[in-house]
Structure 1
Amino acid sequence: MNPYAGLVSRLRAAWLSGKTRPMEYRVAQLEALGRFLDEKKQDILDALASDMRKVTQLDSAFIRKDPYGVVLIIVPWNYPINLLLVPLIGAIAAGNCVVMKPSEISKDVEKLVAETLPNYLDKDCFAVVTAGVEETNKLLENKFDYIFFTGNSSVGRIIMTAAAKHLTPVTLELGGKNPCYVSDTCEVHNVARRVAWGRFFNAGQTCVAPDYILCSVEMQEKLLPALREAITEFYGPNPQESPDFARIMGDKHFQRIRALLSSGRVAIGGQTDEQERYIAPTVLVDVQPKDPIMQEEIFGPILPILTVANVDEAIAFINAREQPLALYVFSSCKKVLRQVLKQTSSGGFCANDTMMHMTLTSLPFGGIGHSGLGRYHGRFTFETFSHPRSTLLRGAGREALNTLRYPPYASRRLPLLRAAAETRRATACALL
């Protein structure tokens, strides 16, 4: 057994209990750290002198936003233009050179971007690479100064491994199984419309789509007819004929998604057409946590419903799994919304709607843990592609002011030196 497994498990249990969340707890711990510095000041100085024979002093500084250099942007197939241009704009604004790798799956967009975009940008600084899996692996052997990848977690690991060889920083925009808890106190028809829109938009091929519903048995009985009504309202009695319902991208993805229909029982939809790569907007019930559909991100127009007794059971279910990219809660009770927000962790959180949080450029978008690393959108995209370079500019004169820091450190100068290096604390602090 790993000798640190018990230690990590103990700290994770404390984290899941919510102990570190209250403001009062954080302030108390920071004050305790301050007492450590006060009470052990001499011991710290003695240890520093013994280990490194040095005493240091803090100076003020400012931050300069520098470009990283040559960055690589790898684009997925589900939103091939948006997920190219949004990071590209930030990379250009930050002053980088960019290599773009569109998805080879969305072939027409790949061709369009490769053939036309270079005509608009400086070819010395911006390039488009068309590549399959083998060629992309070759591309990743080169040293980049930053890599921005959007895709699934399995490929994300490959990207991160390649980046590690050059110690290249990365942003990984991944996916995951986004939970949607529906409490017993909500307006069912509003919930159904907003969930159906988020799940079946682009035939479910959206990384922040609600992946499954958690609700009580009673709410499931109310929700099913409301979902059926919403699907009919959006796509008509036969969604296959609707101009507003998309198709699955590629035969491989179609086969994978169709196989997931074997989980649970089809309550709504379930029709498929392999030739058109059509899978109807589908709702599954009687789904169990161990069913295949609960083992991977669906990324298709299927919505499983799992029943839980209450919000506490829903939270426990969510926390027993990898941190999702998005977490959705529907309730007219603010206490329920705050409880789920407080006791869970996710890349983003949205109450009483789906996907809308990612449309706000004032909010950073990204995952956590299994669902990703890093943030972007709006000004956060510029910051992602900028290195925050700590900078100190000092005048060349007034050398007499610097004599305090130079050795030899006579005992008569130590009070002044300590006063210059002392960290002063207020009785309270603001945590941002």
Structure 2
Amino acid sequence: MNKYQSLLDRQREFFLTDATKSEPWRLDQLERMERLLCDNQQAFCDALYQDFRKPPFEQLFEITVPLGVIDYYRRHLAELMAPQPAPVPPGLAAEGYRGEIHMEPYGPTLVIGPFNAPVLLLLDPAIAALAAGNPVVLKPANMTPTVAALFQTLIPQYFAPEAVSIVTGGREEISALLELPFDFIFFTGSATVGKVVMRAAAEHLTPVILELGGQNPTVVDATANLDIAVDRIAWGHNAISGQWCIAPGYVYVHRSIADDFIARLKRSLTAMYGEDPSASPDFARMISEHDTRRVASYIVPEKVVHGGRFDIPGRYVEPTVLYPSTWDDPAMQQEIFGPVLPVLPYDDLGEVIETIKRKPRSLAAYIFSRDQAAVDRFLGSVSFGGGCVNQTNLHCWIDSLPFGGVGLSGMGKYYGKAGFDALSNTKAMLIGNPDKVLDVFPPYAGKDIAKILSVFS
């Protein structure tokens, strides 16, 4: 018998009592999650630093964002839960019929979190699931053992196991969990593991949200404000030491401004992280020696125009800029997920767009331009999960903007209302008139069939 079967059975039996469908239960879970974060803020910050030296801003970011999500659901829960009217054909409306959409929870939900934001990207989906009325099993990343151990200690202190449970461990534990017929699975991580999750979910026809990644394109055209662009790209690419699924993966810069862009980008990186970023309190470490070695292998010495140093035992790769890069370079063959930034010069935006369109669709994309026609052309032609114009990364902080990927970068959206809707079954209802006859029954001989059908149009 699967060692986690009893855990799932307990949550399912509780779910079948309908207790989780009530607004008070959902608000109580949100309040418990809020207390867990507020009571233990320093402990979470210390754990994040211990696991990969996350700097203070990035530590607090992982706490404040989930708190903002909780606040959103607390303020909007009643309206999100309320049945929504839906129009029906005029003929049916004339007969006293009306449509309604009811949002109901799926049931026990498995949330598998990643290492790069091990608090935020575990709790944000869990908060949406709880707001939607689903019990949750949390599986934190084993690559951040201090954070995982802290969750393992705290979750039982704040939640009943039939509401929220936690399972720690690695591949064996994930495999065992994926064998079970959860009612929903939310996974954040690599496309490789995402395919494993989806195959397992298919065995039970379990719906999934997959938040994956990819090489996120960034375009800087000749009209861009370069001082704004370099700061936002430098920060967006190097936050969490580049281990951010929405980080700019590479930059196409118009050839006429490329040298100026590189010079300003180097100044920006030095201003943010100093001459020796290894001594900066604001620069995180790679998650493992393996990943440090992988990212360091992308550094082509003759193309290094900034940075280039690394320390594998120290899990450190310096913020590095490669120029001029091409699609043949090692760094352009996959998602970098580290602080190495390829920069490619371009002459024609149309050619750039055609090249990007033929690559796997990305989780994010960014364009810096004052030319609205160029912006419209880029957004209208390139498919990606979400992104920014004249900014990077910040779209993932806005609860009114659905967040998620497309194609190999994922499926399904969440945040705010989108998260509530995604983690709810949309139950469509036609409410009939109990006292008025609507004759759609056989025998049809002698009946005006066109008239009968007209009520549905």
Residue type matched to 2:100 in 1? F
Match of 1:130 in 2: 168
Residue type matched to 2:110 in 1? L
Counterparts of 1:263 and 1:133, CA distance in 2: 36
**What is the Cα deviation at residue 134 of structure 1?**
2.1
**What is the Cα deviation at residue 119 of structure 1?**
1.0
C-alpha deviations, 1:70-120, integer Å up to 9, x for none? 110000000000011111111111111111100000000000001111210
**What is the Cα deviation at residue 245 of structure 1?**
0.8
Residue type matched to 2:327 in 1? P
TM normalised by structure 1 equals: 0.81
Match of 1:30 in 2: none
**In the alignment, does 2:291 pair up with 1:253?**
yes
Match of 2:432 in 1: 394
Residue of structure 1 aligned with 2:114, choices 76, 80, 92: 76
- Where does 1:59-208 land on structure 2 (aligned, <5 Å)? 60-208=98-246
**In the alignment, does 2:449 pair up with 1:414?**
yes
**In the alignment, does 2:315 pair up with 1:270?**
no
Match of 1:405 in 2: 440
- Residues 61, 275 of structure 1: alpha-carbon distance in 2 compared, 3 angstrom cutoff: same
TM normalised by structure 2 equals: 0.77
Q: Sequence identity, in percent?
A: 39
Residue type matched to 1:254 in 2? T
Residue of structure 2 aligned with 1:222, choices 245, 260, 274: 260
Structure 1: tracts of 5 or more residues without a match: 1-56, 424-432
Q: Which has the larger radius of gyration?
A: 1
Residue type matched to 1:137 in 2? S
Counterparts of 1:136 and 1:101, CA distance in 2: 8
- Where does 1:257-406 land on structure 2 (aligned, <5 Å)? 257-262=295-300, 265-398=303-436, 401-402=437-438, 404-406=439-441
Contact 1:209 1:355 in 2 (8 A): yes
C-alpha deviations, 1:276-334, integer Å up to 9, x for none? 21111100013221222111100101110112212111101111101111110011111
Counterparts of 1:59 and 1:395, CA distance in 2: 6
**What is the Cα deviation at residue 263 of structure 1?**
7.5
**What is the Cα deviation at residue 62 of structure 1?**
1.1
Contact 2:300 2:322 in 1 (8 A): no
- Residues 386, 263 of structure 1: alpha-carbon distance in 2 compared, 3 angstrom cutoff: farther
- Residues 91, 413 of structure 1: alpha-carbon distance in 2 compared, 3 angstrom cutoff: same
Contact 1:264 1:291 in 2 (8 A): no
SS, match of residue 297 in structure 2: helix
Contact 1:64 1:391 in 2 (8 A): yes
Structure 2: tracts of 5 or more residues without a match: 1-94
Residue type matched to 1:416 in 2? K
**What is the Cα deviation at residue 219 of structure 1?**
2.1
C-alpha deviations, 1:366-409, integer Å up to 9, x for none? 001111100011122111111001123335444xx13x211111
**What is the Cα deviation at residue 418 of structure 1?**
3.0
256-265 or 343-352: bigger deviation: 256-265
**What is the Cα deviation at residue 419 of structure 1?**
2.3
SS, match of residue 307 in structure 1: strand
Contact 1:263 1:292 in 2 (8 A): no
Contact 2:325 2:342 in 1 (8 A): yes
Counterparts of 1:373 and 1:195, CA distance in 2: 26
Contact 2:241 2:338 in 1 (8 A): yes
Aligned residues: 363
- Residues 59, 324 of structure 1: alpha-carbon distance in 2 compared, 3 angstrom cutoff: farther
Residue type matched to 1:414 in 2? I
Counterparts of 1:58 and 1:337, CA distance in 2: 48
Counterparts of 2:454 and 2:319, CA distance in 1: 69
Match of 1:41 in 2: none
Q: CA RMSD in A?
A: 1.7
**What is the Cα deviation at residue 63 of structure 1?**
1.0
**What is the Cα deviation at residue 59 of structure 1?**
6.5
- Residues 214, 263 of structure 1: alpha-carbon distance in 2 compared, 3 angstrom cutoff: farther
SS, match of residue 61 in structure 1: strand
Match of 1:4 in 2: none
Match of 1:15 in 2: none
Match of 1:231 in 2: 269
Counterparts of 2:370 and 2:139, CA distance in 1: 44
Counterparts of 1:415 and 1:79, CA distance in 2: 59
